Chain A
């Protein structure tokens, strides 16, 4: 997934409309649930050592430790 993040991956609200410090902190221990480009809820699969999040419109985000 490429492009500029417009929405918070945790709460789905716009990055420019509220403070997301707590969300950023929380995202250290949970994967994003909302697409940062369109705020659609993503399907997320957590694995023992990584996770994948998929937006039907914008594709995959993947992190492997």
Chain B
């Protein structure tokens, strides 16, 4: 540790507290403590990232989980999530399109070739209807017959019967993001509630599927609300937290929001790691425009232990080879199938 970072822990007591509480004992930061971390100045960020990295190594191990995602049903969503270009309520240029089963299997094969162990099927819907559930049943079976990869799903809010159906299909992890703090959610979505999302997550957990739940930072929430969000995720205890950085999309209500500064994004990554020491913390959308190549590296050395490789749902990511080369350079092994972090 450099003299600079040693000085930082002396100047900012929250770093010494986190070292003992989170790194030493595995107990995540409280909401008030997360606020303190998010308010640290730039000079403290190197030591903060180092601490988050040590925490990730101690409580999760060195492996990085790699995932690919694809949209089975794009656009035309009835909900009004203000960040989303797939809402049918905005003047976004994204048009509605369905992916057929052969193309879905091909996408899973593309993903597996990158070394990924996870393949997540995503639909822009409030919740799945009978047609989508039928597509999922056929698609999951076809993928399992053709590709050795874990299948995850993200289909919006579920009924108990749909949770049971997905479990029976062999979907091992379900993504449903809370998106933001409970107190800020009404500023982001008005067509359904935070509590409805929480209800789906509870059913997913109770059914035995792994819970994947994260959100988007940089949507105009305060630092206190960002800390509230991390604390609420900690209460949920998800297996995975995908962390997105707002990528302002044309035509959406958040289309003119500024991109989050890189230092703030890195502070956020570290804060979420220190709030959730044992969780899979995944780089998701927006990292390319927020952090760039250098920031991507810093985040992997600052608490992140999972990545979405390749493209996202409606936008493009770094080439998978670039991320895999970076992981190799950082001596971070890619998690293999059927291993747990």
Give me the interface of A with B, judged by CB distance under 8 Å. 10-12, 28-31, 33-34, 41-51, 65
Report the count of interface residues on B (CB-CB < 8 A). Answer: 31
Give the Cβ gap from A40 to chain B, nearest Cβ, in Å.
Answer: 10
Contact A45 B97 (CB under 8 A): yes
Instruction: Kindly state the separation between the CA atoms of A57 and B276 in the bound complex, as whole angstroms.
Output: 51
Stretch among B170-178, B221-229, B293-301, B311-319 lining the A interface: B311-319
State A44–B97 Cα separation when bound (angstroms): 7
Residue of B nearest to A40 (CB): B95
B residues 269-290 with Cβ under 8 Å of A?
288-289
Whether a CB of chain A sits under 8 angstroms from the CB of B211 is no
Instruction: Report chain A residues within 8 Å CB of B309.
Output: 48
**Bound state CA distance, A11 and B320, in angstroms?**
27
B95–A29 contact, CB under 8 A? Answer: no
Chain A min CB distance to B14 (Å) = 35
B238 touches A (CB below 8 Å): no
Pairwise interchain contact B316-A43, C-beta atoms closer than 8 A: no
Residues of A within 8 A of B315 (CB): 29-30, 46
In the complex, whether B334 has a CB less than 8 A from a CB of chain A is no
Q: Is B99 an interface residue (CB 8 A)?
A: yes
Q: Contact between B70 and A30 (Cβ–Cβ < 8 Å)? A: no
Partner of B69, one of A29, A43, A45, A48: A48
Q: Taking the nearest CB of chain A, how far is it from the CB of B110, in angstroms?
A: 5
Since A44-B74, A44-B95, A47-B106 are in contact, a sample of 8 more A-B pairs with Cβ atoms closer than 8 Å, ordered by chain A residue number, is A43-B97, A45-B99, A47-B103, A47-B311, A48-B70, A48-B114, A51-B316, A65-B319
Q: Closest residue to A33 on the B side, CB-wise?
A: B93
Known pairs A49-B110, A49-B310; A12 contacts B93 (CB<8 A):
yes
